[in-house]
Amino acid sequence: MRNDIFVFSGRSHTELADGICAELGLSLGRADVIRFSNENLMVQVKENVREADVFVIQTSAPPVNEHLVEMLIFIDALKRASARRVTAVLPYFPYVRSDKKDRPRISITARLVADLLEAAGADRVLTMDLHSPQIGGFFKIPLDQLTAQPILASHLQTIPGMQDAVVVATDAGGAKDAGKFAARLGLDLAIIDKRRYADDERARAENLIGDVDGRTAVMIDDEVASGGTLLEACATLRKFGAERIVATATHPVFTGRAPERLASAPLERVVVTDTIPLPVHKRFESLDVLPVASLFASAINRIHDGRSVSALF
């Protein structure tokens, strides 16, 4: 085993960590996470990481707050063990949607998480498909953002009848990413126009920019939580004549009754990645879960060797 690079994992998604290590040809670094009777956590690193390049994998999965604190303690333990560099690998970034002050007297928690990671001793961050690119500016340390678009696009090309599909942004905010996705696939782009008329969180779909009549609509988003946005978008696309609807997203958060709602929606396929662990009760027949271990392993190799990460895309 190489002694200049180590990969450790918190408890949030050990299956993904094992997959990344398999791609790298490494064994997962040994460490103990101990919970005391007073609910405090302790991390003890069982490897000699002095002057090593270390990567710690921890995604934002329930219980989110405990996994975040565990990551901070892990980083602190590694720095105190004299690791040369520690990279926090966060496939799904914690509190990623709390990236702006859109109500009075609220916190910008994504910025707070950035500060906490730096205070713990992280030297750089590796993540995937942030809800907003501005989060990268919250850090004083380097941040590499991967995208699942190549993985999702390759899978879509295996689905019959996608040659004349239309990529659909579920709102104007996602139009830029949807445009890149459409260009990658060589497809047309459409955008659902939403308007907000009341002082509440609910934006209503009013119109569609583009043509989906008689065609396959491919919706793209960074995450799916309750599934409400997808269901509303499905209704809009049906209204404008879409024949088939496929939904893609990087992060399958799937809160509450989301799996049940998506399974019964007029969706031919729901395509996501495994940045978040999906237990059996959150899976359904029309769901495709694509692995991201190979992409993260390639990024880790490039960071370790000092090569470009953006060249992956």
- For residue 248, give the nearest of 293, 217, 277 by alpha carbon: 217
Question: Residue 144 corresponds to which tokens in the numbers above?
Answer: 């590499």
Instruction: Give catalytic status of residue 194 as yes or no.
Output: yes
Look at the alpha carbons of 154, 304, 111, 16 in this order and tell me if their dihedral is positive or negative: positive
Question: Do 206 and 239 touch, CB atoms closer than 8 A?
Answer: no
- Kind of pairing, strands 287-290 and 269-273? parallel
Question: Residue 82 corresponds to which tokens in the numbers above?
Answer: 């004299």
Residue 195: beta bridge partners?
A: 204
User: What is the DSSP secondary-structure string of 184-234?
Assistant: HHT-EEEEEEEE--SSSS--EEEEEES--TTSEEEEEEEEESSSHHHHHHH
CA distances from 13 to 6, 44, 101 (A): 17, 19, 30
Instruction: Give the list of residues 6+ apart from residue 308 with CB closer than 8 angstroms, or none.
Output: 302
Q: Catalytic residue, from 176, 194, 239, 282: name it.
A: 194
Question: Residue 283 corresponds to which tokens in the numbers above?
Answer: 């899976």
Mapped onto helix, strand or coil, the DSSP state of residue 96 is: coil
Mapped onto helix, strand or coil, the DSSP state of residue 76 is: helix
Q: Which residues participate in catalysis according to the annotation?
A: 194
